[in-house]
Chains A and B, each alone.
Chain A
Amino acid sequence: METESTTNGTTEAAAKPKLTAKDYASDQDVRWCPGCGDYSILAQVQRVMPSFNIPKEKTVFVAGIGCSSRFPYYMNTYGFHSIHGRATVVASGLKMARPDLDVWIASGDGDLLSIGGNHFIHLLRRNINTVVMLFNNRIYGLTKGQYSPTSEHGKITKSSPHGSLEEPFNPLTLALGAGASFVARTMDRDPKHMQDMIAKAHAFKGTSFVETFQNCNIYNDGAFLMYTEKDTKPEHTVFVEHGKPLVFGVNKEMGIKLNGFRPEIININDGKHSINDVIIHDETSRELAMIIAKFTDMQDFPVPFGVLYKVERPVFEDQMEDQITEAKEKLGVGDLEKLLFAGNTWEIK
């Protein structure tokens, strides 16, 4: 029985030869459409895995259903391709039963936020030590292009020929509202940043939520163009880092300041403002993280990337183990014979 609880299984760091990205590629042909953003996510994960120094056999990828949920088949680790929306709960059960394993969740915007929305918020509030990777392409890829819970209002798709009527979820505010202890965002077209986010998410003990903007070049091509392309990226994105000011723009001349609770965009070189007016990012403030996450939905504001929030708190599976240890100390290790014969018994001779 596995009982040793560790942070992501690091206690058994391999004395074996160092693994490379290639060691994490399975022998299965990757079947995503050419040009799909999922390729980049797979590549970055395979690239950073060796740096964790965790034996491959201790790593498990769990997914639901969707294009993105094929992820586990392509990783040469243990893997479970489960059912639509349920990756989070299969992974939760696995991690509760086996805290020694390094458990990852790969899920699409439909999988995680629509059919699996309930499990997602409960995972975050429980804080089970896993990494949740949201492949957000703002569309249902596998079922060929219906609008998803992150599609913008008015989205024209086959199931919404007159435009969708729903307001989208902002996955970051949703996660923060559900009590997430680690919230970050990255994009498929920025490999370095993505590697950094994955590494930080993995190093964090607790449920680490990483949203990746992922282009579906078949059903929602260009959804994130503004944030990923060289000429528009500087003005439309802000990369947050703990302790650093929230500046953006080609020459980092733009900043965001707080006027009461309201964020405002300023030009720090306009003579009226300076860098001292700009918000310094504090990843330990859930309130600030909420404000920054909201930029995503605000006219003229840059879309935030980076670690918005990160505060450790006790993880579920450790508390579960602690209760067991305590019960064993207090009541003694369970004795079946005694339990069977407990209570009022009588003998028939």
Chain B
Amino acid sequence: MEKTVEVLKSATIRFAGDSGDGMQIVGSRFTETSALFGNDLSTFPDYPAEIRAPAGTLFGVSGFQIQFSSQDVYSPGDEPDVLVAMNPAALKVNLKDLKQHGTIIANEDAFIEKNLNLAGYKSNPLEDGSLAGYKLIRVPVTRATNNAVQDLGLTAKDANRCKNFYALGITYWLYDRPLEITMHWLESKFSKNPVIAEANIKALKAGFYFGETAEIFTTRYKVAPAKLPKGIYRNITGNHAAALGILAASLKSGLPLFLGSYPITPASDILHDLSSFKNFGVKTFQAEDEIAAVCAAIGAAFGGSLAFTSTSGPGMALKQEAIGLAVMVELPLVIANIQRGGPSTGLPTKTEQADLFQAILGRNGECPLPVVAASSPADCFMMMFEAARIACKFMTPVVFLSDGYLANGAEPWRIPHESELPIIEGEFRTEKEGYFPYMRDEFLARPWVKPGTPGMEHRIGGLEKQHITGNVSYDTANHEFMVNLRAEKVKNIENYIPLAEVDGDQEGELLIIGWGSTYGAITAARERLLAKGYNVSRVHLKYLNPMPKNLGDILNRFKKVMVPELNLGQLSMLLKAYYLKDVIGYNKVQGLPFKASEIEKKAIELLTEK
């Protein structure tokens, strides 16, 4: 049968199956292949909190979505064009997101009575006509995989486990992707167990040939490489970028890196990555809890290290008292909070932006500190670097905010050369003459003196300090002075961060202002709005405390200001309080990122309402 080829600008595909089906693995392989093929892309892994939830259940469904394009991509895509459903539960959970007339590739072998019951289907959706609005492609994935690997003598279990690569093979055919990259990956991944590598490669190829020969696929799609700015690229997740960012800051400052951390989803990969950088002299300490982790980092900062502690919301809550100590003793410290759904244990594997208040306001007393936020996976690198720069220059703890979506999501990253990165100033005072522990430089920073420096022995601590001498002081006027001084020191940082930039007209009807991981969805929404003739400007904040000093002016140049956030309006409240601007919050707290279409719809509503 003759097959037609259709050229697409972009496509979105979602792999969905049981948490034991290996969906994250094939999603990552599809990502790698597409990245090396030259597409711009964005990914969204979405998996359950349970490591191996009971098979076939709705809550055990694990998904991985990728949008890849010949143009710029800002988000993992709203609605998949293709849904790969490995079982009925995966279909049930994901069908609502699929594009109208979208394609379903279903493993029909898994649509057996037991699984249908577990998913709550009364009848088999592959047969009862309920999927009539979609392009349904039924594939006996399990049987076909078993056939493909049968002569390798695998156990039934091992043979079955290759079925994700069979499904991947089908999508490779459908989108005209090369197989070699994934084959190399399998060979090196299973170098100690070549039979498993071979079995998966056989399954991958069998899936690919199935697409080629089966009568059911009539069209094949091509998504050409994107025209990204010149440079060398790699695909990177937010957590990996963050780990590289803090390492780069350590090397660019000449300060040895010390990480104190306690495992927590979705931040643990930062601990894992840095633990593998031992040959860079990085010291990583897996503490007994988050309090120990941050305190050890503070001890290391006192000793002259670039001190870092990484966590997520619940751990952040535990660290707060110690962060207050770091504010008081004015030592550099970077605290990464990779936000997840809260409160309490909340939604550990889902994304949310509800820790902004916790970052800015979450301690006892007047306890200001700088807060920055990354806007995309790759941006985690530069914003982590920025956090370290600010910490060292201003002798202060700095909070770096990311979230589950950025942490695990990936995108192509134009890799900076080491020489392009600025030097970070982290200097130690050794001059005894005229030294006092709480004297200040032009940035209001106190001097950093390492123990071991002769003649400059001094004591620091959490009790209020007398201005300049740093002696313990209960003097009421001094306390007020110091509270103001600490506030001024942080506020003054606004003079050393970039001004806010408006994308689009500098004044007008509607400004969309966001922060953190909503960057992609807002960008995509704005492009669609512009294409439809709506004039919308936008600002994306990376510096949340202090905010860029031109922000108030910008807000006042727009009739309406819309603030999309994955919380109940935390940035909105700050903007209202700081600038007395009646901004309009657009809020979502479902543990999921915004879809561009949601923001687009809300913006149109605001632009057209009377």
Contacts and interface: CB of A to CB of B under 8 A. Distances in A.
B552 interface: no
B345 interface: no
Contacts of B457: 56-57, 76-79
Given A336-B247, A348-B230, A58 B452 contact: yes
B297 A93 contact: yes
A81 B462 contact: yes
B455 A81 contact: no
A147 B426 CA distance: 45
Interface stretch (B30-38, B48-56, B587-595): B30-38
Instruction: Identify the interface centre among A334, A339, A340: most chain B CB within 10 Å of its CB.
Output: A340
Contact of A89 (B244, B295, B321): B295
Given A97-B283, A119-B288, A72 B459 contact: yes
A118 B295 CA distance: 13
B382 to A, nearest CB: 12
A262 interface: no
Contact of A98 (B289, B296, B452): B452
A94 B417 CA distance: 32
Interface string B424-462: 000000000000000000000000001111111111111
Interface string A70-97: 0011011111111100100111111111
B455 A96 contact: no
A57 B454 contact: yes
A336 B230 CA distance: 21
Interface stretch (A43-51, A266-274, A325-333): A325-333
Interface stretch (B104-112, B272-280, B577-585): B272-280
Contacts of B233: 345-348
B303 interface: yes
A200 interface: no
B531 interface: no
Nearest to B258: A97
B278 A93 contact: no
Interface string B210-244: 00000000000000000111111111000000001
A146 B304 CA distance: 38
A90 B295 contact: yes
A82 B292 CA distance: 12
B534 interface: no
Interface string B281-306: 11101011101100111111011110
Given A80-B460, A324-B279, A339-B244, A344 B322 contact: no
Interface string A277-296: 00000000000000000000
Instruction: Identify the interface centre among A93, A122, A334: most chain B CB within 10 Å of its CB.
Output: A93
B299 A91 contact: yes
Contact of B279 (A77, A90, A331): A331
Given A96-B285, A97-B299, A327 B458 contact: no
A28 B258 CA distance: 32
Contact of B292 (A89, A101, A334): A89
Nearest to A100: B452
A5 interface: no
Contact of A334 (B258, B280, B454, B461): B280
A344 B36 contact: yes
Given A89-B299, A344-B235, A73 B472 contact: yes
Interface in A224-281: none
A313 interface: no
A127 to B, nearest CB: 14
Nearest to B38: A346
A347 B453 CA distance: 48
A76 B454 CA distance: 12
B462 A90 contact: no
A97 B300 contact: yes
B508 interface: no
B283 A320 contact: yes
A57 B456 contact: yes
B278 A327 contact: yes
B126 to A, nearest CB: 37
Interface in B489-532: none
B35 A346 contact: yes
Contact of A93 (B227, B285, B329): B285
Contact of A55 (B418, B454, B471): B454
Nearest to B291: A86
A324 B418 CA distance: 22
A17 interface: no
A11 interface: no
Given A57-B451, A94-B302, A344-B32, A330 B279 contact: yes
Instruction: Identify the interface centre among A26, A28, A60: most chain B CB within 10 Å of its CB.
Output: A60
A26 B456 CA distance: 12
The 4 A-B residue pairs whose C-beta atoms are closest, nearest first, are A81-B461, A93-B299, A93-B296, A334-B280
15 contacts: A2-B303, A73-B461, A78-B451, A80-B299, A81-B462, A86-B322, A92-B285, A93-B299, A94-B299, A98-B452, A339-B247, A340-B417, A347-B231, A348-B228, A348-B233
Given A89-B296, A97-B305, 8 more contacts: A1-B254, A78-B459, A93-B297, A119-B292, A332-B279, A336-B251, A344-B35, A348-B414
